[in-house]
Amino acid sequence: MKILVVGGAGYIGSHVTLEAINHGYEVTVFDDLSSGFKDNINASAAFFQGSTLSDTDLSRVMKNCHFDAVIHLAANKAAGESMDNPSEYAKNNIIGGINLIRACEEYGINKFIFSSSAAVYGAPEYNPIDELHPLAPSNFYGYTKLAIENNLQWFSRLKGLRYAALRYFNAAGYDINQRIIGKEINPQNLIPIVMEVASGTRKKLSVFGNDYSTKDGTGIRDYIHVSDLACGHIMALNYLIKHEKDLTVNLGTGDGHSVLDIISMARKVSNKKIEYEFTGRRDGDPGKVIAAGDNAKKLINWDPKYSELHTIISSTWNIYNQ
């Protein structure tokens, strides 16, 4: 079975590519390398450099390969940046995503795995958050993810496209066998920033808020190891193949760790003093965001294996301590 992994040179995409190859799929990676690295791509995968904003690029990669499925991970992903530059996020995330869906229709690809986000929920009305939680994005990034989910629903209804929307919580960690070593460019997420401080490439960490109603006053998030996340994509694809039914599920562990938990574990793993300072809360940052992951376990038999906090931090430190 042939799969096109769009954004497969990026942090999550390279792990998804590795997982797909390990499951015996024939993989082609399509990536513009704006934030990913060619060296991240497993040698068994074919590679095509191109952009979802180019109909020509999409046609060139699709017209001769007869793909059975697409896994779409290519997107800008910084929530704060999306509020400052919504036009760029509209272009890359919404227009690029719709171009890809349209190309799938044109070339007869009827299985589509979409990298969505817990950002579609916005500020939690309750925790843990299940798939029935109201959809009210509090940033433009979340809106772009919801926009593609809505398009997929319509293409399913009108054109028979079968899709899985995977609502990630906080992806973290690296392949435990260190087969992927490319660091993220200009990371926006907590754990790689903590690793930059530990490795000496960043002086200090800013902790946004210490007055939340949590155990230590800092924000709590649900962290999922990227290899578990990658496995979820393959299980979702297998679900589409077996059931020919659409799927929308959370991918999260149901466990929460505060910012200070992350710093404490990083200090223990790295044996480094990690400097940080408290600053004010960021607009729109909720105190606690935890997944209800029951549906993923029930529907696709997904059970995280690597998402214990020590494994997440140590696998990341192995990359940054090089």
At 188 the pLDDT is 84
Same domain, 167 and 246: yes
- State the Cα–Cα distance between residues 184 and 210, nearest whole angstrom: 27
Q: Give every CB contact of residue 185 below 8 A, 6+ residues apart in sequence.
A: 35
- pTM summary value: 0.96
- Radius of gyration for the alpha carbons in the chain, expressed in angstroms and rounded: 19
| Residue 138 within any structural domain of the chain | yes
Domains held by the chain: number: 2
At 80 the pLDDT is 83
| Residue 285 within any structural domain of the chain | yes
- State the Cα–Cα distance between residues 166 and 118, nearest whole angstrom: 9
Where does 200-279 show beta strands of DSSP type E?
205-208, 220-221, 223-225, 247-251, 257-258, 276-279
Q: Are the C-beta atoms of 44 and 27 separated by less than 8 Å?
A: yes
Integer angstrom CA distances of residue 319 from 167, 179, 270: 26, 10, 11
- Domain CATH for 302: 3.90.25.10
Same domain, 265 and 316: yes
Same domain, 160 and 293: no
Crossing angle of the two packed helices 259-270 and 309-320, in degrees rounded to 10: 60
| Residue 179 within any structural domain of the chain | no
Residue with tokens 């191109």: 50
Q: Are the C-beta atoms of 313 and 193 separated by less than 8 Å?
A: no
Same domain, 60 and 138: yes
Same domain, 157 and 267: no
Structure tokens that stand for 249 in this block: 């599920």
Same domain, 238 and 266: no
- State the Cα–Cα distance between residues 178 and 176, nearest whole angstrom: 5
| Residue 185 within any structural domain of the chain | no
Q: Taken in order 230, 232, 234, 237, is the CA torsion positive or negative? A: negative
| Residue 272 within any structural domain of the chain | yes
Q: Are the C-beta atoms of 251 and 270 separated by less than 8 Å?
A: no
| Residue 84 within any structural domain of the chain | yes
| Residue 177 within any structural domain of the chain | no
Same domain, 305 and 197: yes
Same domain, 100 and 228: yes
Averages of pLDDT over each 10 residues, the chain, 322 residues: 97 97 98 94 97 98 95 92 94 98 97 97 96 96 97 98 97 95 86 96 96 97 98 98 96 97 98 96 88 96 96 97 89
Same domain, 207 and 238: no
Same domain, 216 and 228: no
| Residue 178 within any structural domain of the chain | no
At 283 the pLDDT is 79
- State the Cα–Cα distance between residues 145 and 141, nearest whole angstrom: 7
At 184 the pLDDT is 82
Q: Are the C-beta atoms of 185 and 33 separated by less than 8 Å?
A: no
The catalytic residues are 141
Structure tokens that stand for 156 in this block: 């399913």
At 182 the pLDDT is 87
At 234 the pLDDT is 98
Same domain, 120 and 165: yes
Q: Are the C-beta atoms of 73 and 115 separated by less than 8 Å?
A: yes
Q: Show the domain range for 95.
A: 2-172+223-251
Q: Are the C-beta atoms of 197 and 276 separated by less than 8 Å?
A: yes
- Domain CATH for 18: 3.40.50.720
Examine the fold and report which residue of 198, 233, 251 is the final residue of a domain before the chain moves on: 251
Examine the fold and report which residue of 233, 251, 269 is the final residue of a domain before the chain moves on: 251
Same domain, 101 and 116: yes
